[in-house]
Structures are given as structure tokens and as C-alpha cells.
Structure 1
Amino acid sequence: MLNIIICGAPGSGKGTQSKLIAEKYNLKHLSTGEILRNEIKFQTEIGKKAEQFISKGQLVPDEIIITMLDHILDKEMNHHKGIILDGFPRTYAQAEALEKLLKKRNEEITLLLDLKVNDEELISRLLKRAEISNRSDDKLDVIRKRLEIYHQNADEVNNFYKKLNKYVAIEGIGTVEEIFSRISQVIDSTINP
């Protein structure tokens, strides 16, 4: 199976690129952020807990995310050629937990794709998105807090996968098509070396 993590700061294009990757390679797109936003929308127990953190730009505690992901993997792993995880893991502890979840299913991560975009561009993108979305986490003060938290945790997650020779940095500035072309080249060279 092809199991990919796509990461990058908020606003780097993870969601957009994940959907394209999922479609091209027949992978199940799993966005923990999207799943959590749905939980919040429907005011589930997980949603109510998660909303307290998300609305302040904080990370949702690992135990909530890991439990949710474990249930989703049970439902989805056997129906696709793999998964694309969008924005997860965000911490070293989450990376370790993900490896355990996959290992018990005799799976592993194939690649971590890290979309690299500078903070100035990220803030600009997120403020534009705020104009058309109603997301509570797209306000300037919350954006700055999210970027700060992202930068605090990103290196340890990236280093975790660098040690496993699964990390690839991708230039995240350009058109959607240009970025997707870069990503496709990396994936294609991994599955057809």
C-alpha cells in the first residue's frame, strides 16, 4: 500500500494537494482537521472537546486525535490503495503513535511530503481564505499562534521521518498544478524506482 503524510504550515496547500494525490493514486484522504471540523459541526462529544482547543489556535490533545484516527483506519484501510494523511502527525508523540497504529495493521508510512512556504505568504493565503470561509481559526491573532505552534513541532516530526529516510521537502510556492507536478514526480519515483 501507498501511505503518505502531507504536512506543512497552516495555509501551505495540504488540503488542496491531498485531494489531488488521493484522486490520482486512489488513496483515502484523511484530514484530521476536516474530520474534527465535522465533529464540531455536528456537536459530537469529540467535537465539543476539540472546539475548545481549535478556536484558540491550540492543538487538540493527542489522545482525542489518536482514538479518532484508530477508528477511521479500521474503517478505511482495506478499501483503497493506501491513505494520504493531511496535516497529521503534528508532534513527535503523534508520529510514534501513528507508526504503532499502522504497524498493528502491517502497514507503514511510505513518504512524508513537506510543503515549504514562507510565513509571509502563509499569512496572506490564510487571510484571503478567511474572507470566503467561516473558520474560527482564520483570524490574524489565531493564525500567528497556529504558525508559532506549527514551527515549534514541525522539526521533530520531520526529523522522525528523516531518520526513516521517508522525508521529502517540496517547494510549496507556485500554481496548484506546478506544486502537484513536483509531488507526483516524487511519488512516481518512489513507487517506480
Structure 2
Amino acid sequence: MFNMLIMGPPGAGKGTQAQAIAKRLGLEHLASGDVVRAEVKANTPSGQKAREFMDSGKLVPDDLVTSMVGSHIKSACESGNGVVLDGYPRTVAQARSLTDLLDREELRMHAVVNLKVPSEELLDRLVNRLTCPQCNWVYHRRNNPPKSEGVCDNDGAALASRPDDNETVIRERLRVYHEQTEPVLAYYRERGVLQEFDGSGTIDEVFECVVRYLESLKGA
């Protein structure tokens, strides 16, 4: 079973690439952000706590994320198809928890892909991002607009900006990322599974570079 993780700062295109990779390689896409947002939308006790951190641009605490995402990861691994993890882990503590979970299930992380994008480009991407609340597909007002303004191509749902996609919150999210999430890259670099890619190209250009690498690993 092939398991991988895709990483990168907010706006790097992790979700878009993870969806495409999952489709190409026959893996299950598990986005921690979707899991957490679903809890927030359902206004569960965990979701209420998470909302306070998300709206201020801060990371949701490790124990809270793990409680919401851990069971989903285990369930996905039990499907036998392998997974593309997106948005988890974000801290070294979470990374260690994930390693422990995989070890208990006699599984391993085969690849960790990191997408590198300059901060100002990330800001532009996020300020102009539109998301479908039904299928979670992501658009950009200029670079990747929907065929019909404000409407998802896939299901016709009305597109919306995320509450945390404003410049002040975005800059705080990037600061938090560099402070807390980049050490996770060092963790996986030491484990010999990290590969970094330039995420500044088009969606297709980035995808082809990443998927060629993954196919070489998967076929090895």
C-alpha cells in the first residue's frame, strides 16, 4: 500500500495537487482541513474550539487536530488503497503521532512532497481564492476561474471565499507556518522520504513533475 503526504505553505496548491495525484495513482485523498472544517460547520464541540484558532490565523492545537483526524486516517488506511494526506501533520508532534499510528498498523510513509512558493505569490493566490462548499474544488479569480462566474463547474454550487482568506490573517498564517510547520520538513528529511518541488508553475506543470517522481517510487 502506497502512502504519501503533500506539504507546503497556505496557498501552495496542496489540495489541488492531492486531488489530481489521488485520481492518477488510485489513492484516497484525505484532507485534514476538510475534516476540521466539517467539524466547524457542524458546530461540534471540537469544531467550536477549532474555529477560534482558524479565524485568527493560528494552528489548531495538536491534541484537537489528532482527535478529529486520527480516526479518519486509520479508516482510510484500512481501505487498502493507500492515501494522499493533505494538511496533516503540521507540527513535529503531529508528525510523530502519525508515525506512531502508521507503525501500529504496520504501514509506512513512502513519500513526502513539499511545494515551495514565494510568499507574495501565496498572498495573491489566497486573496483571490474561491472554494466550492460542496466538492471543495478550488478556483482563482484570475488564473483558474470557473466557467460561469461564482458557480462551481462540477456541481453548480455557489463559490465562496474562506473567512480566513484576507491579507492580515494570511500573513499571520504564513508566519505561523514558517515557525511551526517547517520543522516537520526537517523531520521527514532525516527519515529520507522528503522531496521538494517548485510550486510556482501552472497546476499541470507542477502535477507532471510531482507525479513522475511518485510513479517512479510506486513502480520501484
Please give the TM-score of this superposition, normalised by the length of structure 2.
0.84
Match of 2:162 in 1: 135
Per-residue deviation at 1:80?
Answer: 4.1
| Partner SS, residue 162 of structure 1 | helix
C-alpha distance in 1 between matches for 2:125 and 2:167: 11
Match of 1:78 in 2: 78
| Partner SS, residue 2 of structure 1 | coil
* Structure 2 unmatched ranges of 5 or more: 131-140, 142-158
**Higher gyration radius (CA):** 2
Paired amino acid for 1:79: S
**Which segments of structure 1 move beyond 3 Å, counting only runs of 4 or more?**
none
Paired amino acid for 1:123: L
Per-residue deviation at 1:5?
Answer: 0.7
- Alpha-carbon RMSD across the aligned residues, in angstroms, is 1.3
C-alpha distance in 1 between matches for 2:119 and 2:73: 32
Paired residue total = 193
1:144-182 C-alpha deviation (Å, 9 max, x unpaired): 000000111233101111111100001101111111101
Higher relative contact order (CA 8 A, sep 6+): 1
Per-residue deviation at 1:27?
Answer: 1.4
Per-residue deviation at 1:78?
Answer: 2.1
Aligned mate of 1:183, from 210, 217, 220 = 210
Per-residue deviation at 1:133?
Answer: 2.6
1:103-124 C-alpha deviation (Å, 9 max, x unpaired): 1111111111000100010001
* Structure 1 unmatched ranges of 5 or more: none
C-alpha distance in 1 between matches for 2:196 and 2:74: 29
C-alpha distance in 2 between matches for 1:185 and 1:149: 31
Match of 2:15 in 1: 15
Match of 2:103 in 1: 103
Percentage of identical aligned residues: 37
Please give the TM-score of this superposition, normalised by the length of structure 1.
0.95
1:56-82 C-alpha deviation (Å, 9 max, x unpaired): 001101111112222112322122421
Aligned pairs for 1:102-181 within 5 A: 102-129=102-129, 133-181=160-208
C-alpha distance in 1 between matches for 2:76 and 2:195: 25
Greater fraction of residues in helix: 1
